[in-house]
Amino acid sequence: MLKFLRKYRKIILAGFIVILMVAFVAPQLVQQLGAKPTDIKVATLDGEPVRAGEVQRAAAEVRMLDSLSPLILPGILMLDTTNRSEHWLLLRREAERGGFAGDVQDGRGFIDDVAFQTGRLALQQQFGQFADQALQMPQYQERIKQMAEEMAARLAQEGAVVGLTPDDALRTLAAARGVMRMKEAYVTAARPSPALAISTARRYGDSATINYVLLRSSSLADEVEAPTADELRAHFDRFKDVEPGAGEFGIGYRQPQRIRLEWLVVDRASLAGAVAPDRVELRKMYDANRGMYTGEYEVERERVRADYMARQADMLSEEVGRVLRAEVLRVVRRLEQDGPYRVLPGDWESQRPKLDAVAEAIVEGVEKSKGVRIPLPRVEIRDASWLDRESVAALPGIGSAVVRFGNNQAPFSEYAFQVKELGGMAALGLQAGVTEINAPAADASGNLYFFTILSAREASAPESMDEVPTLADDLKSIRAFERLVSELPVYEQLARTDSLEAVGQLVAGVGGIAPLPMIGVTVSRDRVVGGDPEVDTASLRDAVLDAAERLDPRTPVEELVRMPETALSHALPASRSVVVARIKSLSPMTLEQYRSLAVGVTVRATMFEVQEIVDSHPDAVNPFGFEAMRDRLKFAEITRKSAEEAKDDAAASPSSPASEPAAEAPASGS
């Protein structure tokens, strides 16, 4: 035995060392192998661990909320663009801790709120200040009800896509509602003073009724001399880099994003007409589909023929697409790849496949492969002028088409501006100079549009005065407006001593059409009801109400209309017009009205106070912003460096209990 041990002592010793190493490493190995990826600690929040599964779940919830209602929910949540998942995780945690978030039923109720607000926004775009009245109409109430039902169905579908059960999806919606409540509670926590509440009540409760005449600069434009070339150049330079409607006098010539493009039309009707119906094939189709065609052949003949022609059109349309792709790729595949894009050589314009030539190749290719001579596809080229989104949407055919990509779709007028040169979505791979072959636009009739964005231009000042056809008219309009302003005292005095009709006649001049007064227009601090749209400005509303507050509301109406103080005039630079008005009656808020509206007045007063604080402190930190919440909730992500430091600390302190293994956290916003 001793002889055996002496002979094999080195092998036995090596075996014992291996056994000791396995015994030392095995517990940690088992622990590591048994840990699920979702259980890995990736952050801490108030000292508590945050697991990878929680962050993944938060990301799934954010995707679902985005897909459910992109108009409303991002406006409520206002998530950090870089750390969307983490920000939502913090908002949800704080709302739940504060007791603001409900359960499944609360989520169902929030669907109705979201549908209502979405419908209200749509009606505001359509009816403006009359949206609330439209909301009372049965047809719009029914539409909002249908919208809520569709949203509930979509919630379950979108939740399933990201791995959420229907109840989990509703709880997520309830959490979003809880975040909204939490923010409202913070904003409305302050209580306005009685003086502020009263001033707010008067701001929204006091009103005056006026008659007015609107004098537009266009009425005097013919009396203004034509500007010289130097004057036009100076005017152009003054406004060329100003956003439309944002400059003085409502003038601005900065151009939006624009493109030039060409497209090839695959006309479905012409493809169907290129195939002569085969009577034998029609009969075969009828016999093979008796479950669809239940009547006798003579009765079903036209229906069978229409279906046959539709199938032929589908076949030919698919073949057209195949030939077109082959023609484009024959040249494009030689180019170097740069991510989703191609590296275009300097002489690419002379090399690129032109759609005129591609159209001829399509005719030959389809005839060769299918034996059918189709009409030459029509090619449209719009390279003479730049097209903005509105101009693209107004194009015949393609302007009303949509582009489907993945599970999504977008109007062509929006998709076309996702081109690389305008900073579009890289995932689409849309590039100026390269024909889009994978996602053609399609209209309601089934016509396809293969297109090439020839060039693209970012929002910028126009390159020349020729791009602004209204230049001379705009300058004349400004000069006519300045003349109106200089004559305002004359118009106001005429309104006092004569009438608003006389003011209109004076401006109309010889042979002109006098503007007629608007009668019985109600003006409050926040709106004008019953007047011209350009009159509803804060400056005019304040001018009317300031003049009304200087009058005694107890004055009888018959005396009020004779008082010279009731006449006023006001310039409206944005619309290059002036208003001459007479105050006809006053309607101050009464004490009874104030008492009945006290709650709403208090909320508005609080909002005014909060807005004034925000305006006076532009650098103030949003308490629900990601950075503020991260600091307040002590949220810290575990990075690779901190994980290694934790291991070093554990190794330096062998007496301390084994800490949970740390892992690298995903990058922010992933």
DSSP 272-286: HHTSPPPHHHHHHHH
- Structure token digits, residue 53: 């599964």
- In angstroms, rounded to a whole number, what is the distance separating the alpha carbons of residues 379 and 449? 9
Tell which of 542, 565, 588 closes a domain. 588
Cβ neighbours of 611 (radius 10 Å): 11
Indicate whether 625 pLDDT > 60. Answer: yes
Provide the pLDDT confidence category of residue 465 given band limits of 50, 70 and 90.
very high
pLDDT (average), residues 360-370? 92
- In angstroms, rounded to a whole number, what is the distance separating the alpha carbons of residues 215 and 580? 8
Question: Is 624 within a domain?
Answer: no
Q: What is the pLDDT of residue 475?
A: 94
pLDDT (average), residues 571-594? 90
Shared-domain flag, residues 554 and 576: yes
Q: Per residue in 18-65, pLDDT tens?
A: 444 544 444 554 444 445 677 788 888 888 888 888 888 888 888 888
Shared-domain flag, residues 306 and 446: yes
Q: In what order do the strands lie in the sheet with 528-529?
A: 528-529, 518-524, 207-216, 577-587, 567-572
- In angstroms, rounded to a whole number, what is the distance separating the alpha carbons of residues 226 and 239? 19
- In angstroms, rounded to a whole number, what is the distance separating the alpha carbons of residues 410 and 403? 5
Shared-domain flag, residues 447 and 546: no
- In angstroms, rounded to a whole number, what is the distance separating the alpha carbons of residues 83 and 635? 12
What are the angstrom distances between the C-alpha of 443 and each of 402, 412, 553? 6, 10, 61
Cβ neighbours of 279 (radius 10 Å): 10
Q: Per residue in 167-192, pLDDT tens?
A: 988 999 899 999 989 988 887 777 77
- In angstroms, rounded to a whole number, what is the distance separating the alpha carbons of residues 529 and 121? 20
Indicate whether 583 pLDDT > 90. Answer: yes
Query: Rg for the chain (alpha carbons), in Å?
Result: 36
Shared-domain flag, residues 452 and 477: no
Indicate whether 529 pLDDT > 80. Answer: yes
Q: What is the pLDDT of residue 653?
A: 41
* DSSP character at residue 516: P
> C-alpha 255: how far from its chain's center?
20
* Three-state SS at 522: strand
- Structure token digits, residue 575: 């619309």
Q: Per residue in 591-615, pLDDT tens?
A: 777 777 777 777 777 777 777 666 6
Question: Is 659 within a domain?
Answer: no
Q: In what order do the strands lie in the sheet with 635-637?
A: 48-51, 41-45, 635-637
DSSP for 479-515, written as a single string: HHHHHHHHTHHHHHHHHHHS-HHHHHHHHH-TTPPPP
Q: Per residue in 121-146, pLDDT tens?
A: 777 777 766 777 777 888 888 888 88
Indicate whether 357 pLDDT > 80. Answer: yes
CB 319 within 8 A of CB 362: no
Q: What is the pLDDT of residue 223?
A: 85
Question: Is 638 within a domain?
Answer: no
Provide the pLDDT confidence category of residue 162 given band limits of 50, 70 and 90.
confident
Shared-domain flag, residues 305 and 393: yes
List phi, psi (to 5°) of 83. -125, 55
Q: What is the pLDDT of residue 411?
A: 92
Structure-token match 């350009």, residue found? 534
Question: Is 20 within a domain?
Answer: yes
Question: Is 64 within a domain?
Answer: yes
Shared-domain flag, residues 515 and 437: no
- In angstroms, rounded to a whole number, what is the distance separating the alpha carbons of residues 421 and 456? 6
Domain residues for the domain of 448 are: 258-459
- In angstroms, rounded to a whole number, what is the distance separating the alpha carbons of residues 584 and 520? 8
Q: What is the pLDDT of residue 488?
A: 94
Q: Return all residues near 575 (Cβ < 8 A) that are at least 6 apart.
A: 216, 250, 534
List 208's β-bridge partners, or say none: 523, 586
Q: Which of 51-65, 307-321, 429-443 has the highest mean pLDDT?
A: 429-443
- Residue 153, exposed/middle/buried by CB under 10 A (0-12, 13-18, 19+)? exposed
* DSSP character at residue 49: E
Question: Is 604 within a domain?
Answer: no
CB 622 within 8 A of CB 628: yes
Cβ neighbours of 498 (radius 10 Å): 12
The number of distinct structural domains making up the chain is 4
Q: Contacts by 638-643 with C-beta closer than 8 Å and gap 24+?
A: 638/41, 638/42, 638/43, 638/44, 638/662, 638/663, 638/664, 638/665, 639/664, 639/665, 640/664
CB 319 within 8 A of CB 372: no
Question: Is 509 within a domain?
Answer: yes
Alpha helices in 81-137, H assignment, sequence order:
84-97, 104-127, 131-135
CB 412 within 8 A of CB 439: no
Q: Per residue in 254-296, pLDDT tens?
A: 999 999 999 999 998 888 887 777 777 777 777 778 777 777 7
Alpha carbon distance, N-terminus to C-terminus of the chain: 65
- In angstroms, rounded to a whole number, what is the distance separating the alpha carbons of residues 62 and 43? 19
- Structure token digits, residue 96: 């739940």
Shared-domain flag, residues 305 and 401: yes
Q: What is the pLDDT of residue 70?
A: 60
Q: Is 153 or 189 the better-scoring residue by pLDDT? A: 153
- In angstroms, rounded to a whole number, what is the distance separating the alpha carbons of residues 335 and 430? 15
Shared-domain flag, residues 78 and 20: no
Provide the pLDDT confidence category of residue 662 given band limits of 50, 70 and 90.
very low
- Lowest average pLDDT, out of 3-7, 371-375, 568-572, goes to 3-7
Q: What is the pLDDT of residue 80?
A: 84
Provide the pLDDT confidence category of residue 9 given band limits of 50, 70 and 90.
low
Shared-domain flag, residues 122 and 220: no
Shared-domain flag, residues 433 and 367: yes
The length of the chain in residues reads 670
**Percent of the chain, pLDDT > 70?**
86
Indicate whether 473 pLDDT > 50. Answer: yes
Question: Is 181 within a domain?
Answer: yes
- In angstroms, rounded to a whole number, what is the distance separating the alpha carbons of residues 233 and 240? 10
Indicate whether 661 pLDDT > 50. Answer: no
Shared-domain flag, residues 144 and 291: no
Q: Which amino acid, one-letter code, is at 434?
A: V
- Structure token digits, residue 300: 């079903």
Shared-domain flag, residues 329 and 441: yes
Indicate whether 5 pLDDT > 50. Answer: no
pTM exceeds cut of 0.85? no
Mean pLDDT value across the chain: 82
Provide the pLDDT confidence category of residue 509 given band limits of 50, 70 and 90.
low
- Structure token digits, residue 69: 């209602």
Q: Is 622 or 365 the better-scoring residue by pLDDT? A: 365
Q: Contacts by 598-602 with C-beta closer than 8 Å and gap 24+?
A: 598/197, 601/197, 601/200, 601/201, 601/204, 601/205, 602/191, 602/192, 602/197
